[in-house]
Chain A
Amino acid sequence: MQVKKIVAVAALLFSGMVNAVDLELTQGINSALPIAINAFGNEDVSTELTQTINGDLRLSGQFKIVPVSPTDEADNAAISMWKQAGADSVVTGHIRRMGNNRYDVSFELRDVVEQGRILLSKSFQVGNRDIRPLAHHISDMVYEKLTGEKGIFSTRISYILVQRGHGRTRYSLEVADADGHNPQSLLVSSEPIMSPAWSPDGRQIAYVSFEKKKPQIFTVTVENGQRRLITDFTGINGAPSWSPDGKQLAVVLSKSGNPKIYFIDLARGALKQMTFGEAIDTEPRFSPDGHSMLFTSGRGGSPQIYKLSLSDGAISRVSYDGNYNARASYTPDQRQVIMLHRQDSRFNIAVQDIASSQVNQLTFAPLDESPSVAPNGRLILYATRYKDQGVLGIVSTDGRIRLRLPAREGDVQEPAWSPYLG
């Protein structure tokens, strides 16, 4: 009997093994993740919250927002409705007024295709003015849950706003949310302000001011506007860039002839020349690991990207494609270089793969400039022109999405994306 049983079981197992169909899937598609956002309610705050999350996720380039009609409950009917609409996941939530401009906000992220399984569920109590930051925070959580990467919706951007009128010009250093909303003037001047650069901790911005009718490099603390003069040499004082540890500032000085790159120790004020020779060297930018520095140099006859190894001082050329490449910076993973690239007579944003040296042009406008990469390396903020005005554009590193950010009236120049904050 026992033996018979064993034989039967073995036969069953064996037949099961023979009969099971084994499939192998090795190919997928490159596509944005379809997500639905169910309205958090009918009130103004609800609309603001829903729209902010919607804008964030669309801005990220990783999501396709599937339009759905709002429902109160995430019941089976709603889930099949979202599934029908083609959403893989859905953000649902509610806002309840607690009185005195305080709100109780709860949200859930659900997997639609898996019968509405809850992936995230949180609730918060916030004041009236924190609705937008909360929306960005929710976007960050949703983004991280679904892509496995940190979201950038709570980071900030800075840029120079130039407003002309009544015979005088107003220059300001603006700081805004990553989606361009909520801009605030950190500095205002009647003389040009240029080249804002965020410190690695996001607390300070280095910039160039012409307030004394000559270029000087300052740092300003974002929180309180406190300023510090860094360089005031004869000639050019420009293009400041922070080292990853925040202890040094790379700057361009022409105090001894042609513009050359120097490092300034911020604690001791010590100055060290990093590049030499007759050619113009400018736009230094540290690598994320702090081991090297990219810069633009005319030493080859035309502006091209070079790399200075900080361990041995060796310089190697990075860009070869085209006769004008400038404003280079690494993506955070150091696998790509973002740069200004001239094709024909047009200046556009391009990305060069480090391993293959292949250059991929991302924008195709007549004049785009000043690319600055987001801390997650997915998006590039840049200055472009729209209706004869300088505005901000965002393009994803893979070129899949491209959009313009809302800005105030005026010319927007030289945007810079902050690191992850707090």
Chain B
Amino acid sequence: MINASSYRKAFIAAIILHCSLGLLLLTDSSSSRPVLVKDTVNEQGQMLPVEQVAEKKPDIVKAVSVDSKQVMETVNRLKEERAQQARNEKKRQQALEKQAEMARKERIVEQQHLAKLKDESAKLAIARKKAIEEEQKHLKELTLQKEQENKRLDALKAKQQELEKKQQQEAQRLTELKKRQQAEEQSHINKQQAEQELETAKQRQAAQQQAAANAAKQARIAGEVDKYKALIVNAISSRWILPENIDKGLSSQFRIRLAPDGAVLEVSLTRSSGDAILDRSAQTAIYKASPLPVPADVETFNLFRDISLTVRPENVRG
């Protein structure tokens, strides 16, 4: 089943997400900025050094001439210097022109690059527009779907309401039935109470009897356990042929598994005495004593299913 409310939430979230995405795409202007920055950089003038050169004209006219020859020489030298300066100036002008040419070329390249960039940004804008259109189309589809879904949900709701109505009717019927039953019970209640009291008294007595019986049983089981412990030890002892000259300080331990008829199913040596002969002599005695005497009562026998036997060659009889 689709949970209507959760679906609605998801739907609303999807709409919000898409709208915000569209807004972001439409309002984003960060990509046009780098182009403008590059324009401002290009507009910075490259001609400033030319003005500086013009200002640097030397002020030679103020010089005082004393001797014509000297003056001539000086004039000549000045002429020469001027010519020299003019040549230098020309050279500089040429260099500057060259630089200006270079700058112009660079600007052309830059402008070409700019045009390209503008082109690209236009392309991008078209693509974005397309994406937005598609998104809007998709949104429309989604709203359509949602409407359909809502219709379906409404139908479901209607069905549910019908069901609830039915249930309510059923419940009503039941409560009526119960009321009738209670009425009937009410008629028997005095009788029942009397009966119940009698019953509880009986139960209490039975519990007391049960407790007494349990205690007796426990005592009986304990007695049985002791009895069969002795019988089992005796059965093995009478068959245990002690090896001669055995060290009386030795001891080994066995685990014996018994079948309900007392048959020895398995004997395992859980702790060896270190003397293989002693170990085997005891193991032989256990097997030979099979079937061992065991209580017939299942509950008591269960205690003897798995027994541990510690063996110590302390005494010899016979």
Contacts and interface: CB of A to CB of B under 8 A. Distances in A.
Interface of A: 19-33, 62, 88, 111, 113-114, 146-148, 333, 378, 398
Interface stretch (B90-98, B144-152, B306-314): B306-314
Given A19-B303, A111-B284, A25 B240 contact: yes
Nearest to B237: A27
Given A29-B241, A29-B242, A148-B243, A21 B312 contact: no
Given A29-B317, A30-B242, A148-B277, A114 B283 contact: yes
B225 A21 contact: yes
6 contacts: A26-B312, A28-B313, A29-B317, A30-B241, A88-B288, A114-B283
A6 to B, nearest CB: 23
A279 to B, nearest CB: 36
Scoring A21, A25, A88 by chain B CB atoms within 10 A of each residue's CB, the highest score goes to A25
A29 B313 CA distance: 10
A147 B243 contact: yes
B239 interface: yes
A31 B241 contact: yes
Interface in B220-276: 225, 229, 232-233, 236-245, 275-276
B259 to A, nearest CB: 15
A27 B246 CA distance: 12
B283 A30 contact: no
B120 to A, nearest CB: 64
B315 A27 contact: yes
Nearest to B309: A23
Contacts of A32: 241
A30 B232 contact: no
Would you call the interface of chain B mostly helix, strand, loop, or mixed? mixed
Given A21-B303, A22-B310, A114-B283, A148 B276 contact: yes
Interface residues of B, number: 41
The 6 closest A-B pairs by CB, nearest first: A28-B240, A28-B242, A148-B277, A113-B287, A26-B314, A27-B315
A28 B244 CA distance: 11
A26 B233 CA distance: 9
Given A20-B306, A113-B288, A148-B277, A25 B244 contact: no
A170 to B, nearest CB: 41
A25 B312 contact: yes
A30 B303 contact: no
B318 interface: yes
A23 B315 CA distance: 16
B285 interface: yes
B233 A21 contact: no
Scoring A29, A30, A378 by chain B CB atoms within 10 A of each residue's CB, the highest score goes to A29
A28 B229 contact: no
Given A27-B316, A148-B275, 12 more contacts: A20-B303, A20-B306, A20-B307, A24-B312, A25-B282, A26-B314, A27-B315, A28-B242, A28-B315, A29-B237, A62-B244, A333-B245
B255 to A, nearest CB: 9
B229 A21 contact: yes
B241 A147 contact: no
B309 A24 contact: yes
A15 to B, nearest CB: 11
Scoring B242, B276, B280, B306 by chain A CB atoms within 10 A of each residue's CB, the highest score goes to B280
A337 to B, nearest CB: 17
Contact of B229 (A23, A29, A30): A23
Contact of A25 (B225, B284, B309, B316): B309
A111 B243 CA distance: 16
B281 interface: yes
Contact of A24 (B245, B275, B281, B310): B310
A30 B318 contact: yes
B283 A25 contact: no
A28 to B, nearest CB: 4
